[in-house]
Amino acid sequence: MTVRTTRAVRTARWEGGAVALVLALLAGCSSPSIASDTPSASGSSSTSAASSAASSPTAAAGPGVPTPDHVVVAVFENKDLDHVLGAGQAPFFDQLAAGGAAFTDAHGETHPSQGNYVALFSGDTHGVVDDSCPQTIDAPNLAGQLAAAGKSFVGYSESMPSAGYTGCSSGRYARKHNPWVDFPALPASVNQPLTAMPADFAQLPTVSFVIPDLCSDMHDCPVSTGDQWARDHLAAYAGWARSHNSLLIVTFDEDEGSQANHIPTIVVGPMVSATRSSQRIDHYTLLRTIEDMYHLTPLGHAAQAQPLDGIWVR
């Protein structure tokens, strides 16, 4: 079987799974809960976030974006779109995709990992062409923008040994996936371990990034491991966000090495229509969308990107 045929089969499985879930919801049948029975790293209780397509408002056609109370961006690692969605290895990711906006034409910026994180955080790779550590970058970035606008930012990294840690690695923690450390003008307070993520999601900063460690993010471990981690650590927030004007963005840094750099990206929240979008997006698109949400001037290449469109609930 050719690669193209394999991808077509996986895409069909994904689409079929999404349709089956929607039909089950419309019929009033039970479906897997989006919330986990396992507490998140913050210790918060799980909340169901399954929603019925029948009650989903239509998506706005215009380019305007909403202003969520909170945005959480979770970044996973090194997987092709069709190795995650519809592949049978990531039921929680499939469930998020069926209940939110799943992008079929999303792309990373570069290979290897580090430049993608820097681009997502600051609108440019700033010449980062490898995973060497440490990097020191003197440039505007999302955290600084938010602070200047009276908003807040924190990055939460799994397995990071202490708040404000600037070392290159510790166990399964890798600084190359933690871009805010590379911007020394930022206060150490924006750099927190995942254990510092508040149990009360209302206490989250305006925007936060959640970075799993090298196993949980699928870099060194199977897709199924990362999927279970996402269920354990993101499901409670995804459920809470749906009733608290908040947003979850799940994306990847890069694919498995192709020139196209084709990655999964899913957006979930009460302001998001359940849909599959063919809009071509990348990390600059995501940055531009967040900046537009809080009326920030787009940074670097985000200024040429268009924000996410066609997914917003009227």
Longest dimension (CA), the chain: 55
**Structural domains for the chain:** 3-303 (3.40.720.10)
User: What percent of the chain is modeled with pLDDT above 90?
Assistant: 79
Count CA within 13 A, CB hemisphere, residue 268: 31
User: 30 or 228: which carries more pLDDT confidence?
Assistant: 228
Question: Would you state the pLDDT for residue 224?
Answer: 97
In the block, residue with structure tokens 């990847």: 252
Asked whether the predicted pLDDT for residue 211 surpasses 50, the reply is: yes
What per-residue confidence (pLDDT) applies to 115? 98
Supply the pLDDT for residue 64: 87
Q: Could you give the 3-state DSSP secondary structure of residue 6?
A: helix
pLDDT of residue 61: 35
- Mean pLDDT of the chain, nearest integer: 85
Sign of CA dihedral 152, 286, 200, 198: negative
Q: Which residue has the higher pLDDT, 37 or 115?
A: 115
User: Does position 43 have pLDDT exceeding 90, yes or no?
Assistant: no
For the chain, the C-alpha Rg in angstroms (whole number) is 18
What is the C-alpha to C-alpha distance for residues 175 and 168, in angstroms, rounded to an integer?
Answer: 5
Give the pLDDT mean for 236-250: 98
Quote the CA–CA distance of 73 and 212 in Å, as a whole number: 11
Q: What angle do CA 99, 294, 138 make, to 5 degrees?
A: 110
Give one word for 42, left, alpha or beta, with left for phi > 0 and alpha for psi -120 to 50: alpha
- End-to-end alpha-carbon separation of the chain, Å? 43
Q: Please give the share of the chain, as a percent, with pLDDT higher than 70.
A: 80
Tell me the C-alpha to C-alpha distance, in Å, between residue 20 and each of 142, 158, 227: 39, 34, 20
